[in-house]
Amino acid sequence: MNWFSWRDWWFIFLFGAIYMFNFIDRMIISVVGEPIRREFGLSDLELGVMGGVAFALFYGGIGIPLARLAERVSRVGIVATATALWSMMTMLSGAAGNYWHLLLARMGVGIGEAGFTPPVVSLIADRFAPEKRATVFSLIAVGVSVGGAIGALGGGWIAQNHGWRMAFLVMGAPGLVLALLLWLTIKEPARQNADNPAPAFGVVLRRVGKSPAFVSFTFGSGIVALVGFGLNLFLIPFLVRRFGFDLKDAAITFALTFSAATALGGVVGGML
């Protein structure tokens, strides 16, 4: 049985590629964090604020308003604009003259990347039959593990041989091309239940708050994110400082440790 048409495969490939650079631009700061710390004389706290808090506050805070916006305007347009924004902010990170410039750029990356997942989930729901949706999203989510590997390996090599600023520039630029391809080649699907207005946010919040499964899943996801992003941000600097790794070898270790398992878990989890 042919589950997907070539247009479906293009949809999956393109959004998977965008998700890949979404993750690359999110985690590149962990690859180049150590040379940045040395150049600007930063503490680990300042590095953590720049790589974690500055990104996460805006990523989490803007996500819900953008999800509500996606119920009213073109979701393809939101994702294309968001992709272009976080890509430009990543490239601007390479031009930062001090810590505060980098902090503002990372906030911009967080704002841009917040515009990816909610519209994409909605697009998948409107484009694919229910029995296909988990598989589609799991295939797109493979971009996370691929992005982790490419971001670590490529970013580590570039930073070691050409400096951390070039790593930001090279890793940010492809997103601009992908944003243009998305805008030109993906059509906005018809919305399901378009005649039913979206309920007020407070109504939705009260409804999901009464679901033990939702509360447990949200809490568990928060714990996973707490551990995962902490490791992502500080594993490479730890390997460099504690064991004397150069950036390239530390990046290889990071890629081998996380990426293969993430890819396998994403595909198998989606099929289950």
Taking only the tens place, the pLDDT of each residue in 134-188 is 889 988 988 877 887 888 889 889 999 999 999 999 999 999 999 999 999 999 9
What is the per-residue pLDDT for 63?
Answer: 87
Half-sphere exposure of 19 (CA within 13 A, CB side): 22
Q: List the domains of the chain with CATH numbers.
A: 8-189+212-271 (1.20.1250.20)
Residue 227: partners with Cβ closer than 8 Å, 6 or more residues away: none
Cα 64 to Cα 56: distance, rounded to the nearest angstrom: 13
Better-scored residue on pLDDT, 266 or 242: 242
Q: The whole model's pTM is what?
A: 0.86
What is the per-residue pLDDT for 1?
Answer: 44
**Quick one: CA dihedral 17, 80, 85, 66, positive or negative?**
negative
Cα 24 to Cα 269: distance, rounded to the nearest angstrom: 22
Cα 189 to Cα 32: distance, rounded to the nearest angstrom: 39
Average pLDDT for 4-16: 94
Is residue 259 predicted with pLDDT exceeding 70?
no
Is residue 266 predicted with pLDDT exceeding 70?
no
Of 36-40, 202-206, 227-231, give the range with the top mean pLDDT.
Answer: 36-40
Average pLDDT for 115-138: 92
- The region of weakest confidence among 42-56, 63-77, 95-109, 213-227 is 213-227
- The region of weakest confidence among 31-40, 111-120, 249-258 is 249-258
Is residue 269 predicted with pLDDT exceeding 70?
no
Angle between helices 6-40 and 117-127 (to 10 degrees): 170
Is residue 131 predicted with pLDDT exceeding 50?
yes
